[in-house]
Amino acid sequence: MKEQPIGFLDSGLGGLSVVREVKKILPRENIEYFADKQRQPYGEKSQSELIKFTLQIINFFLKKKIKICVIACNTATAASLKQAKEHFSIPIIGVIKPAVQDAIKKTSSKRIGVIATEFTTKNGAYPKEIKSIAPEIKVFSNFCPEFVSIVEAGKFTAPKTYEVAREYLKPLKDEQIDTLILGCTHYSFLKKIISDIMGPGVILIDPSVSTSLTLKEILIQKGISKEEGKSKENYYTTGLPEKVKKIAKIILSNDNFEIQKVKLEGLEQNI
């Protein structure tokens, strides 16, 4: 079982922020990564669509014999983690709970900001999770629709990205938060800009860091962590592999991997 891979899913490149962290602390694990690029952005989809996409991708992963699945997407976690756990018998983790636990530990003013996709923001997944642990905390949210396409285009520090980010972050700055959750895995790649704008008084919480630590704990606890040998990685997308690879190789600082095109049943009707 130790040799079996870990499956990571996202609508695109965002989940690579989780993979990047996992590779640092679990360098020997075998990885299967799924970027559902053709159906992006997930943030504009409905809950029933998102549940369908998640279950479909996990079914694909089961053929690859994954030992655990990481829903490396906040939107898919908010929409479908519960249903996915009910549906499959393998362990499945999302990115929201680990980020929330981290943020609650770090805030001293008890004023936490969350930036996320439209779906995650409107669904209220973050405030619900925070309030279930610490009801006294005030949560301020905003959604940042353009961030996903900015990251997919690799414009991590472009002047226009600063401009857009300033606008999205202003309401949160005005609320004088001391902790900001990057509630979409894509936003991890905009950390530099977000931190420049929010200033040194605001701690950024990156779910990719907290999730990779949670993943490591679970693998060790279950005795299924792979500690020997080289890691193998397989990448899949429903979109155009060359397009995904162009930015993925910058993110992963590696050129030595292939991305396979995958056709999922019924995909044409979903877009």
Interacting residues with ligand DGL (CB under 6 A):
10-11, 14, 40-43, 73-75, 117, 120, 148, 184-186
Quote the crossing angle between the two packed helices 241-251 and 16-25, to the nearest 10°: 40
Nearer Cβ to ligand DGL (149/176): 149
Token digits of residue 258: 């292939």
Indicate if 73 belongs to the active site. yes
Nearer Cβ to ligand DGL (38/74): 74
**Least distance from ligand DGL to the Cβ atom of residue 133, Å:** 21
**Least distance from ligand DGL to the Cβ atom of residue 88, Å:** 20
Nearer Cβ to ligand DGL (15/226): 15
Burial (CB count within 10 angstroms: exposed 0-12, middle 13-18, buried 19+), residue 29: buried
Cβ of 136: how many Cβ atoms within 10 Å? 6
Token digits of residue 144: 């940042």
Find the catalytic residue in 9, 35, 51, 73: 73
Query: Do 73 and 15 touch, CB atoms closer than 8 A?
Result: yes
Residues with Cβ within 8 Å of residue 140, at least 6 apart in sequence:
111, 112, 113, 114, 171, 172, 175, 177
**Least distance from ligand DGL to the Cβ atom of residue 176, Å:** 26
**Least distance from ligand DGL to the Cβ atom of residue 224, Å:** 25
**Least distance from ligand DGL to the Cβ atom of residue 230, Å:** 28
Nearer Cβ to ligand DGL (149/254): 149
Token digits of residue 118: 């439209």
Find the catalytic residue in 31, 51, 184, 252: 184
How long a stretch of residues is the chain? 271
What is the C-alpha separation between 93 and 210, in angstroms, rounded?
12
Nearer Cβ to ligand DGL (5/43): 43
Token digits of residue 34: 């799924």
Beta-bridge partners for 10: 35
Indicate if 184 belongs to the active site. yes
Q: What residues are labeled active site?
A: 73, 184
